[in-house]
Structure 1
Amino acid sequence: MFEFKIAFNYLLFKKRRLSASLISLLSILVISLVVWVVLVFLSVTNGIEKNWLKKLTSLNAPIRIAPTDEYYSSYYYMIDSFSSKSDYLAKNISEKLNSKLSDPYDDQIDGELARSFPKPIIENGKLLDPIKKLDKILEGEKNSSNADISYQDYELSAAQLRLTLNRTKKDLFTEFKDERVNFLT
């Protein structure tokens, strides 16, 4: 109430303070107009940005198939490390998709698995192959819908790279060659 009383004192027209009342009324109108324009501008740009992002990502961005921690701790992923048919190496998603065997483990050839090893998930009498199942779903979606869907596997790994830079520096006065070796890691 106190604020309204002060505002009305300045806004009420009096013969002696007519110019002050007009200036304050004009400044309030300008400030409210600027605030309104800023709000409209921000809401429009936010809407345009969301619309553009939606359109651009639906047109150009592939679906990323990223494995989870549950996948890495599953029988399906870990069995490759214990199988001779997989050269005792874990396979990434694209290698799993291209492999002929979902379960490369052979109990006659390979060593016995620990009791704490994850149990396989069996579906219809076969090992559940989540990668090939997902590929089948995405291929069906790609063929049935009009949208151009693209997808790719996505895994991050750490690696160390060491580069050797061999540079020869020739001194112009003595014709002496100095070879320097630098390493980048």
Structure 2
Amino acid sequence: MTDEISEAYQWIFLPGASGSRSFWQPVASQLTADVEQAILAYPGFAGAMPQSDVYDFESLQDYVIGHITQPSVIVAQSMGGIFAVQAALEKPDLVQALVLVATSGGIDLSPYHVLDWRESYQEQLDLPDWFVVSKSQTIEQALTTITCPVLLLWGDDDPISPVAIGQYLQQQFQQAELHIIGKGQHDLAHVHAEQVGRLIQDFKQRVLG
């Protein structure tokens, strides 16, 4: 497996629906200094300048995937995980591995009775108006075609993305491992940054070399 991984790759961190780049900073800071990394901002989210070509979920997804121009490991929170999975499908030659945290991964969530977060997020966060009504298409049927290594991190107390979703995704990807963090809620990657950082570092050493 390690022989298939490019020796030179960057780490791209994708926020969730908040668009907050600071969300990933405690984890990103734990990576070794020689690792090239970028925390991507979403136009129109969390104070980032809007762009005319980003106006719905699909155009935001295109914007994100357009930033993947070299071999990359994508670390993604919640909504960002949908973009990460789509990137792995569209650019399998560049996406070396995925780290997905508390995400839907693009599957149909209706069987899981998850908490609807959109209204509260709109009230509490600086989000573009179109985001609340935009819906992503399910890409569930394509998950089994993703061959890169996948690290799945879930909290055991997350009503937005319950553990059952992580367990299902683990079954769909060809190479996936799932770690469940005790007392972890939807913001587990920020609240439990030290533990998450250790799991990612271990994944990096074992799978990426």
TM-score interval for Structure 1 and Structure 2 normalised by the shorter chain: under 0.3
Larger of the two Rg values belongs to structure: 1
TM-score, scaled to structure 2: 0.20
Greater helix share, structure number = 1
TM-score, scaled to structure 1: 0.22
